[in-house]
Each structure stands twice: as C-alpha cells, then as structure tokens.
Chains A and B, each alone.
Chain A
C-alpha cells in the first residue's frame, strides 16, 4: 500500500490524527509554523525538512507520516505547551516514531543516515 502523509496543525489535531491511524506505524515531524511565504520561524526546521522529505520513500508500507506544525514561536517557548508536556518534546524539529522511544531531535534531523535509520529499523 505504500505510505501516506497527513498535515496537521496544533496539538489537538495531532492527537486526533494519531488516534485515527492507531495500529499502523506512525512517524511524525514537528516543525514551527510557517509564514505567508512558507518559511518557518525555526531555522533548524527549514534545514531539516528537505532532508526528511528526501528519505520518506524509505518508510515501511502502511506507514503514516504526520507533518505537524506546532504553533508560533511564543507558543513553542512556553515550557508548559501541550507538546512539551504530553509528548515530552524538547525541541523543534523533532522526528519521531510514535509510541516508541525512537526519535531524532534538532541537528540529528539534518543527518540523512539517521533519518533513514529511524524509518527503516525495528
């Protein structure tokens, strides 16, 4: 069946989407919001996104790739935001395999080898 991508914005939409695909491998990339020109306030996210997208073809069949915009910079900086509190995210960008301790944070997302490893190892 291959893999599919879903784009969401904000915590509640992320949770609903993850629940909808329960049972399938779910990978998620969390990035800062983009402005009208499509540029994120988070420079590391700008660097990481193309690297991650280039490796998506390595996703296992049936996977779901959730591309999630977390919010604006002020929301992200708040130490109590839902992503930090509930998903234990510590930085953006974060690329993770949902439901496992496997994740890549910030500069780790720049490395194609690591992204590929996250998508293909069990």
Chain B
C-alpha cells in the first residue's frame, strides 16, 4: 500500500524518529560526539501486509559539540507485525561527513587508561541538570549506549528518552577496550515510566561503542 504522510510534529512520527536517533547514536555516537534531533522534517508511514509498519523519515540532526552545523539524514524504521519483542529494523543514510572525533577520542582513551583508580560517577546530569565538564564524554558515551537499548526495545507505542545516567563504573580490562558498566534511567513517554537499565559498553577509538550486556 501507499505511504501515508504523517504530521512530523505529532508523536506517532516522533516515536519512529526516536528509534532512528537511538540507532544512529549507537552507530556513530561516542565520547566525542553527541547526536541530537533538531527537527523531524518529514514522516511517512506505510503499512506492509504480513510484515509490519514502515516509517520513512527525513531528520535534521546536530552534534551537540558542533552546533553550528546541521546534519540531514534519511531513515527507515520497520516495526515488525506481531512480534513486539523483535527490535525494529532501522536503516539510516547520513550523506556527507560528520565532524571528526579522532583527537577527542584519543584524548579520552588516554585519560581513562591512565587513571589509577577505576572511574565511578553517578547522577549525570544531577537533579539540577548540571553535568561537570570532565564527565561530558562519559555522558555522551551513555547516549550511545542508551541508543542501543532504545533501538532494541522500542515498539510503535513507545517513545524512549535517556532521563539520567544513574551510575557508571569503569571496569579495567586486559585487552585494549575500555569497559563501562552503566545504570541508565530511561523515560518512556507513553506509559510515563522511568526505568533502570543495566548496560555494559565496550569502547575503543577505532572500533567505536559495542553493547555487550543489556
């Protein structure tokens, strides 16, 4: 059937956009890059018989560390019919280059590797919305981790946001990856629940973020 135009300002389209953003944060986010949705430009929905509902999105994103630039991308989010426990399929196209994070990534990597005691932090942001500057990379890495959780756990009737990093603990590893065990608070807009998720993230400047437990 044909794709139906959706008002981009309304939640049904917004839910699909949140999934696309989560996926993109996981794929391209990290301590040096925090992708944020500036505007959902266009949204269409197609009901595919025996398959599910597919959303076509045009998104304008920004890197919070590079706000002067905006990134246009397109995404397709397919919610599978009848199996809400299956993660939606997401495809994203990001034309052009995102700002390089090589230097920031390496700096972060060196910093953490050189810590004598494993890093521990909690409540990021705090109750008043503050994030100490030195914890911003840990905060943005949590965005990437939450992106994975949001992508994997979204349905057409949920809209997740990362509410807070409740707790983060670094775990030193014998190999080259950094490991962070996060407790993330996710806010689900439709039910209004705020629930904790334990996520273990491995990260390396060249290999990016990988969620190993969720």
B is a partner of A: no
